[in-house]
Amino acid sequence: MTSVAQILRGKGHQVWSVSPSTLVYQALKLMAEKDVGALLVLEGDELKGIFSERDYARKVILAGKSSREIAVKEIMSSEVITVAPQKTVEECMALMTDNRVRHLPVVEGGRAVGVMSIGDAVKAIISEREFTIKQLENYITGSP
């Protein structure tokens, strides 16, 4: 089983973040620039929340607010589910599915060291399944 640490080794440990006082508009610009669907909200090294496209759509646009006038802290999700690098992809998928989230901050030693997305999990699971299928085909056909 693939671990979160293995995923982060492959994709990198880059953590894109904003402070709680950042304007939503600035956060959206960063998300577009970095091509990510969520940003961690950090105050120093402390994880305060997560800001996602879903937060924006539901709490700004649908509420008739302006992204140029509202701070991230007013709409971020402050109850954040985190995972340790030792967690498996399957455990992360279960957490994401059960809690209806698409991003899990990876925390080690009290510090955010990466983000595991549902896309990362799906790619890893597909890769594992393809490897297993190939191994079974080789076993059946007697190929090395």
Domain tally for the chain?
Answer: 1
pLDDT of residue 144: 67
Bigger pLDDT: 126 vs 32: 32
Identify the CATH number of the domain in which residue 110 sits: 3.10.580.10
Provide CB contacts within 8 A for 60, sequence distance 6+: 24, 66, 67, 70, 75
Amino acid in the structure at residue 57:
A
How many CB atoms neighbour CB 73 within 10 A? Answer: 18
Q: What is the pLDDT of residues 92-138, one digit of tens each?
A: 999 999 999 999 999 999 899 999 999 999 998 888 777 777 878 77
- Give residue 93's domain range: 4-141
pLDDT at 142 over 80: no
pLDDT of residue 34: 95
Bigger pLDDT: 82 vs 14: 82
Strand partners of residue 107? 112
How many CB atoms neighbour CB 40 within 10 A? Answer: 22
pLDDT of residue 14: 87
Q: What is the pLDDT of residues 40-77, one digit of tens each?
A: 999 998 999 999 999 998 898 778 888 899 999 999 99
pLDDT of residue 125: 87
pLDDT of residue 9: 92
Tokens 């597909």 sit on residue: 126
Q: What is the pLDDT of residues 83-93, one digit of tens each?
A: 999 999 999 99
Please give the Cα distance from 134 to 27 (Å, whole number).
43
